[in-house]
Every structure is written in structure tokens, then in C-alpha cells.
Amino acid sequence: MEENPWATHINEQYLLGISHVLDYIKSEAYRILYNRHAAAGRSGLTVPPKADKSKKASRARS
């Protein structure tokens, strides 16, 4: 969590209440922060590859 740039801002709002977190996420300040980190490539927006589930025992057909 120390490397997450949003954790401190969201945590501050969480201390005030969950409704404050939702309001913060909808706010212009959060949108600007998100876009700034996305443009810098630090947001971690890359989606991890999905695991191959074709070999799962529950998917085996008799």
C-alpha cells in the first residue's frame, strides 16, 4: 500500500466515512489525479494475464 499513490487520499476520506470515499472517487480532484498517474504510466493499468483454466479438474468432461 505504500507504493499506491491513491491510498493516502482514499484513506483520509475513509476515516470520514464511506460516503466521503464515494464522493471523492466521483470528484474532479480524483479524476485529475487518476489521469495524471495514467499519463505518467505509473497507474498499474496493465491487466495481468489470465490463468489457463482449461486444465482444471472441475472443467474435465467425462
Would you list the domain boundaries of the chain? 5-40
**What pLDDT was estimated at residue 7?**
79
The mean per-residue pLDDT over the stretch 14-29 comes to 93
**What pLDDT was estimated at residue 57?**
77
**Is this model's pTM higher than 0.75 or not?**
no
**What pLDDT was estimated at residue 5?**
66
**What pLDDT was estimated at residue 1?**
57
Of residues 59 and 31, the one with the higher pLDDT is: 31
- Rg for the chain (alpha carbons), in Å? 18
Across 14-32, b (16+ Cβ under 10 Å) vs e yields: eeeeeeebeebeeeeebee
**What pLDDT was estimated at residue 51?**
86
